[in-house]
Homo-oligomer: A and B are copies of this chain.
Amino acid sequence: MLEKTTRMNYLYDFYQELLTGKQRDYMSLYYLDDFSLGEIAEQFSVSRQAVYDNIKRTETILEQYEEKLHLYEKFQKRRQLLNNLAERLKGKMTDEDQLCSLQIVKELNELD
């Protein structure tokens, strides 16, 4: 379950701009703010089932975007490669070169 929550958080992060306002509202309350289905239902004056259905549907949509664009998969590979690179750079150059190279690695990480 924790694994699914982590994955959904990332998928939401990458593809939220492609969702509707309501899908974003429900997903962010449920996955980011840890609201229960009942709490979300109460807040929007809809049934618990309606919230559940909407969230399940949105999860499917996010997985479909990931199947097509692979942004989360690429992010994970990139993160791994950048970590390997940062490790390899340490202690191998002058302090200044190392500082500048690691700064670039940091900027690359922040682009995702």
The residues of A with any CB-CB pair to B shorter than 8 Å are 14-15, 17-18, 68-69, 71, 74, 77-78, 81-82, 84-85, 88-89, 92-94, 97, 100-101, 104-105, 107-108, 111-112
Contact = CB atoms under 8 A, between A and B. Distances in A.
A14 B100 CA distance: 30
Contacts of A112: 74
B101 A85 contact: yes
A100 B74 CA distance: 20
- Going nearest first, the 4 A-B pairs with the smallest beta carbon separation are A17-B68, A85-B104, A92-B93, A92-B97
A89 B101 contact: yes
Number of copies: 2
Contacts of A69: 14-15, 17-18, 69, 71
Nearest to A68: B17
A97 B104 contact: no
A70 to B, nearest CB: 9
Contact of A97 (B14, B84, B88): B88
Contacts of A74: 111-112
